[in-house]
Amino acid sequence: MALQLYNTLTRTKQAFVPMDAANVRMYVCGPTVYDFAHIGNARPVIVFDVLFRLLRHVYGDNHVTYVRNITDVDDKINDRAARDFPALPLNEAIRRVTETTADQYHQDVAALGCLPPSIVPRATEHIDEMKQIIERLVAGGFAYVAEGHVLFSPSAQNAAGGVLPRYGALANRSLDEMIAGVRVDVAPYKQDATDFVLWKPSKEGEPGWPSPCGMASLGRPGWHIECSAMSWKHLGEVFDIHGGGIDLVFPHHENEVAQSTCAFGHSAMANVFMHNGFLQVEGKKMSKSDGNFVTINELLATDRFGGRAWSGQVLRLAMLRTHYRQPIDWTVASLQETAATLERLFDKAEGQTSGTVDPEVLAVLCDDLNLPGALARIHSVKDPAILAGTLSLLGFSMNRDDLKTSGPETSVDVGAVQALIDARIAARHGKDWAESDRIRDELLALGIQIMDSKDPVTGELKTEWEVKR
């Protein structure tokens, strides 16, 4: 099966050719663990889980290595640790924050049907590799030491030329534009405004490690160097696929590419870069002040979004209905529709849990993970076992019990139910029976049973409803 993937490096869809078909290697930037993951964070996890499953299907389960890191050193972590555990020494408090947050993260994404990656490295366990890369970069003239910092110089990368990629090639920006665009106060120790931190001194009481390049102070790594170090350690100097959300293209991935290619002298860090589009909630950027910020955990275990808890299987399907490169609008209405659709699909599979994969769905999926296309095609798969096999490839459990939620009792949003009932009555007046049935299914998915009757006097259509228990 010819797999095509859209590559941010070339801005085209290309045939995917792994460096070694016996060990296909993928790295995806993971979470910074200081708080519950939000539903936007779930998008790359689900999208790249589908790719992991597809690669395993094509190349064999034991021939794919998927690395997704944990960033456990960061200012946000330090702040959270000091706030939540003021009585503990900072390092102990940090350990508490990162361990509980990482555990919660793994539970959340498992509930979304995601396989554990092959390797889940932690940044703090790769400080030696980071220091080795930093020392190579300094020795190669790509980085310099200044006031306890080590800084990477994009200008030095571009001056070196040769096989190295141009700094800015991934993000499709020119270094001159970037220099012109820097308006903020530039730190005095930087030679150029675009130079970025590989290593910085730790303040009193902050976590710190002996610094590279013979510096006496304790220090800590910058964010970008972490991923260069962890991908090198577990996947080698060059690997096949690097993924993450679109917001990571610049500066994070551009800087990772700069560090890895300059340290190891290759033209690429990864041959294919893939980025998922952004998620917004009810038409707006997710933000705590707008009240539309929602965590995976809240969706799974509380009635905060749409008045009920949602099964991880429904959240997964809702995420896959939009093409991974498009923006996605996360809405209660779409979750309701998705819940009804998933019930129907599980019914059609008639309790089967495995089977072969429908070849047409597979072909559509191999076209740059065209999931909306694949899902459209899935609806016409008749054979229950093939339907089950195909849905399993996409990571659905095929266990009806998984559609139940473990959250609080459904609390009904009466206004929303009435609005749906009114819309259904309007559809029936207009003889739009398909729409009327769709709304009935949507209500059923919300646990609402409806009863139609005619008013004996006026002949007017009436609909009553009750909560199914």
Contact residues toward ligand AMP (CB under 6 A) are 29, 31-32, 40-41, 43-44, 244-245, 247-248, 276, 278-279, 286
247 binds, among ligand AMP, Zn ion, none (CB under 5 to 8 A by kind): ligand AMP
Tell the smallest beta-carbon distance from residue 334 to ligand AMP (Å). Answer: 15
Query: Residues 84, 16: contact at Cβ < 8 Å?
Result: no
Tell the smallest beta-carbon distance from residue 77 to ligand AMP (Å). Answer: 11
365 binds, among ligand AMP, Zn ion, none (CB under 5 to 8 A by kind): none
Burial label for 202, CB within 10 Å (0-12, 13-18, 19+), is middle
Burial label for 180, CB within 10 Å (0-12, 13-18, 19+), is exposed
The binding site for Zn ion (CB under 5 A) comprises 29, 227
44 binds, among Zn ion, ligand AMP, none (CB under 5 to 8 A by kind): ligand AMP
355 binds, among Zn ion, ligand AMP, none (CB under 5 to 8 A by kind): none
- Give SS3 for 453: strand
Tell the smallest beta-carbon distance from residue 49 to Zn ion (Å). Answer: 17
Q: Which residues contact 127 (CB under 8 A, 6 or more apart)?
A: 209, 221
Structure tokens at 411: 């609390």
Name the closest residue to ligand AMP (Cβ). 245
- 230/403 with CB nearer Zn ion: 230
3 binds, among ligand AMP, Zn ion, none (CB under 5 to 8 A by kind): none
Tell the smallest beta-carbon distance from residue 450 to ligand AMP (Å). Answer: 36
Closest CA to 353 of 401, 408, 306, 406: 401
Name the closest residue to Zn ion (Cβ). 227
d(CA 133, CA 222): 12
- 93/296 with CB nearer ligand AMP: 296
Q: Which helix H or strand E contains 279, and what residues bound it?
A: strand 279-281
Tell the smallest beta-carbon distance from residue 320 to ligand AMP (Å). Answer: 14
- 166/285 with CB nearer ligand AMP: 285
Closest CA to 2 of 352, 401, 363, 261: 363
Tell the smallest beta-carbon distance from residue 29 to Zn ion (Å). Answer: 3
212 binds, among Zn ion, ligand AMP, none (CB under 5 to 8 A by kind): none
- 46/54 with CB nearer ligand AMP: 46
Q: Which residues contact 328 (CB under 8 A, 6 or more apart)?
A: 43, 277, 278, 279, 280, 319, 322
List, in sequence order, every residue forming a beta bridge with 444; answer none if it has no partner: none
